[in-house]
Amino acid sequence: MKHILITAYDVNPYQGSESATGWNYPYNLSKYNKITVVTRENNLPEIQRFIAENQLDVVNLKFVGFDLPVWARFWKKGSRGSFLYFYLWQFFLSVSFFSKRDQFDICHGLNFHCDWAPSFLWLLGKPFIWGPINHNEPLPDYALKGLTKGELRKEKIKQVFKWIFWSLDPFLFLCKKKATKILVGHSDVIKRLGLSLNKCVLFNQIATEVRQKHVGNNEGFNVLFIGRGLLIKNYLTVLDAFKLCIENKEFTNKNLSISFVGVGKKAKNKLLSRALELNIEQYLSVHKWVAFEDIEQYYLDANVFCFPSFEGAGMVIAEALSYGVPVITIDKNGAAHELKEDCSFVISSSDKRGMVIGVSNAIALLINDKNKYLLMRDAAYSYAEKKLSWQAKSKTIGDIYTSILWSYEKK
């Protein structure tokens, strides 16, 4: 049994997204390897509580807390300063484990997932895996229309900030050079970082629990969006596409609805205002915030999950499929390459009007063709179970570990 050192800045088994990757990948990998995970000290209480509540066998899994001393992080408060802190955390963690390096066979920098912050685990002189790493590509011009000058300035600053690290950070250059394998969330990561193809594995971080099959909403047809109401999520497109659907007279006698969950107060107001403009407010329900443990019911009530986000990933895509809910997304979503056409629609986002029409047509097809909907529902559940479960995706990482060690033993 090999011993793997994993760094996971964010770990919480009670939450989703980034926190979920920090828990689920190490936990499943520990079934075949000895795993030591280094994380923030404030993550340990929730990890220990979850293990105790579920009486989990973690004989091969160990979590170690590491933080900079208080005097070296006085400037960090909540999310403020988190990127700089992560950068320093990665460096000093690697230095502190240098004397213990012979205990490990492989080092793996698992999350934050951002591809402009280097890992320093290569300092330990062991086979080093970086990722999955990811980034959000610049938004298209049509998505930026209507923003204030201040909002546009913020978007440009984000891109300049990334470019500085991608192009000028010598430690990022060393990280790329020293990495044995790099797990990339989408192909644009390879282009932006100028990575060697032979080092890269296309592997987005999205994954999900295996769930019991459900029959869906048979009393009507509900279109669902879950996520924060941010510009990059492109959430208003869902509303515009729904409007095109209900303009079709064939749908007038159907019980149609559209739900937005977890969008926040500002986005809720935007959605309500836009729905009034489109004269579809009677179909709309908006929930600005929902507890993580209450999200399930919204998936159970949904017939299609519409997520036309421009972001590099989106854990909600995998979650929706795991409930047997077909997915509609766009080609600029980083997780699109993980999807199959028998359970999802990937719509071109080359222009706004075409994108809205494409999303609308996909919704309409599922409403009109009951057999198509049922086939896609079954395929969604099956695909999530076989390809997107934490177990299945962890096995892919485990196979990479095995391949790397086999190559090193041959030398």
pTM: 0.92
Which segment of 41-55, 247-261, 287-301 scores lowest on mean pLDDT?
247-261
Options 3.60.70.12, 3.40.50.720, 3.40.50.2000, 1.10.1200.10; CATH of 221-387: 3.40.50.2000
pLDDT digits (tens, 9 = 90+) for 37-75: 999 999 999 999 999 999 999 999 999 999 988 877 777
Query: Cα–Cα distance between 123 and 152 in angstroms, integer?
Result: 39
pLDDT digits (tens, 9 = 90+) for 308-364: 999 998 899 999 999 999 999 999 999 999 999 999 999 999 999 999 999 999 999
Options 3.40.50.12780, 3.40.50.2000, 2.60.120.380, 3.30.390.30; CATH of 3-134+169-207+390-410: 3.40.50.2000
Cβ atoms < 10 Å from Cβ of 136: 21
pLDDT digits (tens, 9 = 90+) for 363-406: 999 998 999 999 999 999 999 999 999 999 999 999 999 999 88
pLDDT digits (tens, 9 = 90+) for 172-202: 999 999 999 999 999 999 999 999 999 999 9
Domain locations in the chain as residue ranges: 3-134+169-207+390-410, 221-387
In this prediction, residue 95 carries a pLDDT of 95
pLDDT bin (cut points 50, 70, 90) of residue 16 is confident
In this prediction, residue 327 carries a pLDDT of 97
Tell me: pLDDT of 220 over 90.
no
In this prediction, residue 6 carries a pLDDT of 98
On average, the pLDDT of the chain sits at: 92
- On the question of a common fold for 3-134+169-207+390-410 and 221-387, the answer reads yes
